[in-house]
Amino acid sequence: MSAFDSVRRHGRPLATALLASSLLLGGLLATPAAAAGTTAVRVNQVGYLPDGPKRATVVTSSTQALTWQLRNASGTVVASGSTVPRGADAPSGQSVQLADFSSYQATGTGYVLSVDGRDSDPFDIRANLYDGLRSDAMAFFYHQRSGISIDASLAGSAYARPAGHLGVSPNKGDTSVPCQSGVCDYTQDVRGGWYDAGDQGKYVVNGGISTWLVVNSFERAKRAGTDAALGDSTLRVPERGNGVPDVLDEARWELEFLMRMQVPAGKPYAGMAFHKIHDAAWTAIPTRPDQDAQPRELHRPSTAATLNLAATAAQCARVFRPYESAFADRCLAAARRAWTAAQANPAMYAPDSDGTGGGAYGDSQVTDEFYWAAAELYATTGESTYRDAVTSSSWHTSAGAFTPYGFGWADTAALGRLTLATVPNGLPASDLARIRSSVVSAADSHLSTMAGQGYAVPVPKDGYFWGSNSEAADNAVVMAVAGELTGDARYRTAVLESMDYLLGRNAIGQSYVTGYGERSSHNQHHRFWAHQLDASLPNPPAGSLAGGPNSALQDPVAQEKLAGCAPAACYIDDIGSYSTNEVAINWNAPLAWLAAYAADRPAGDGGGPQPTASCVVTYKVDNAWSDGFTATVTVKNTGTSAVDGWRLAWSYPGGQRVTSAWNATVTQSGADVVARNVDWNRAIAPGATASFGVQGSLSGSNPSPTGFALNGGACD
């Protein structure tokens, strides 16, 4: 949740009038929300899995079925059929039809779906479609790290920066942070962790749900037997090669911070967790973390923060045990202390009024956090004390643990249910069956919501509030777990269609994930990914999820530019629109979870995880002139396994823009460039190379990029 948002996670949006005008094929919403050049044929702009659903939504006023054709990169028609008229779609305010080409399962790049003479954006069909996003969505957290320098070899030269908030001038913290007046009379070392969103605050309650999702993504993959894809040396983190799965290394960075937020022994409220730490006043935009000169402050402990610590530390103790037993012991000790402290102080609420310099994250209902923490402690220890806390909670049988509006930082009972449904425990069989049934029932409700909409979004028509994209992603997580529990393929289909929504099949034809799709968000609200305000700063890195449509229009840019928008179209890719276009750790966490899930594929289908670090890239400028250049890029597979399908990413440090390419499909968002194989060079045998060329424009110098990543892993 954005630091600017002072309402609870499930606050209802303001009423917004729907569009009443008839929409012509190829026409756009009669609001300023539609992206420039948007086509009426809305697809997942990245692509589709060969064995997954392949559906598109067509904006049209026609009431008759239309003919669709699927063409490959050569322009050959490979499949055809008729659309299904659906008529008015309330959330988007559009009249739509559906095209379903799921029966086509061949692979390739550059497909285009044509409906009644109108073309979609090009897209791929391939088994490794989500491998890059699995890596990039998780890399978001490394980019957001506080208290460590960000390495160009891991993040790309455009994103390298000195460590922020380590007490090095001009920083005032976070190694010795005082409390707000009247809260405490000592200082605390609270370095590390992840910056929360577009601001540079760090919040325990938002860090809690984000950490839980990151760790849970690994726990789920381990149950599925696909955890190798998140294992050691698979992600771009400095800890790679230490024998610990990289996704857990990333989670540990935040877990260490969360434990540093615990009130020390011998102090008032020992064992409780401080609610948050951030600047005394709102940090100016743009400001890089190491350049922030404001004093930092600890805010009063809260019961909600303390229970977030108890829950995530208990989960840590369970999942880290096979890899780092000493750290697991530390986590469990911190979880027990936090639980005891929360029981002794069950009503210390963070006030909604504490919103100067950072989000308030107020929450005066913490029975759900008690349930979640008890569930994690019980699943980890099996102890009767925690079992009794689970079974005596009203949330254990409440129908409200899952809602149409998803779970979130202020509504965490669903997390406890998901853990109890999937982690072996000693609950009676009847109790376990009821818990699992509640997950499946919630997933069925989301399926029903999707079936009633033209864009198949797991969001009710009145659910487009602040962070609606995370609502869609969180609900997709529930559907994925239901699929795991039942083996019913309908749920995986729905999860993949939820990804379609995030990646371009939506009311405005916009991919909300930076670097993925023909028109992807790249001006998200952020303090130092602020290229729109300062050309020397980068856009957000690939894999960053925008908050999404918010019909309440809670910022000046949205109020000026989006008046009259239909709920699902209330979005603008502008750095000033913090209520529709901010990034946040609790939004990227479910995206990373889903990307890892979508990337799962059984061994033998070209699919185990591809080697991600065994590569060398050569970038050679062949010719340059005053305002342009050509270059050859060669990637060598130095590993022992063949690479079947590749995605090479880099950033241009001098503002260069790719204007054309050959022997690869190349896209660019801001400074970030992604090159994908064409059909004939998709396989790179061990020791072999693949080369392609680019032509670009420039203004000024032409420095060569230095950091390359193949299928998500850094190359030499």
- Whether 522 is a known active-site residue: answer no
CA–CA separation, 231 and 278 (whole Å): 33
Active-site annotation holder among 573, 574, 600, 672: 573
d(CA 319, CA 328) in angstroms, rounded, equals 8
Q: Cβ distance 568 to 522 under 8 Å?
A: no
Active site residue 124: no
List 143, 525, 526, 531, catalytic entry: 525
In which residue are the tokens 């009379």 written?
185
Sheet strands (E) in 173-300:
177-178, 187-188, 202-203, 273-274, 276-279, 296-298
Based on the number of CB atoms within 10 Å of its own CB, is 365 exposed (0-12), middle (13-18) or buried (19 or more)? exposed
Is the bond leading into 170 cis (omega within 30 degrees of zero)?
A: yes
Count CB neighbours of 599 within 10 A: 24
**CA–CA distance, 64 with 43 (Å, rounded to integer):** 21
- The catalytically annotated residue of 116, 121, 199, 297 is 199
Q: Is the dihedral of CA 518, 139, 658, 547 positive or negative?
A: positive
Whether 525 is catalytic is yes
Nearest CA-CA partner of 495 in 353, 599, 408: 599
**Lookup: tokens for 235:** 């992600």
Q: What is the DSSP letter of 394?
A: G
Beta bridge partners, 82, equal: 67
Known catalytic residue: 462? Answer: no
Cα separations in angstroms, 477 against 256, 377, 402, 525, 601: 26, 22, 12, 25, 17
Residue 557, sorted as left (phi over 0), alpha (psi -120 to 50) or beta, turns out to be alpha
Separation between Cα atoms, residue 274 and residue 261, nearest integer Å: 5
The active-site residue out of 131, 279, 555, 582 is 582
Pairing assessment for the beta strands 84-89 and 94-100 based on DSSP bridges:
antiparallel
Q: Which residues are catalytic?
A: 199, 525, 573, 582
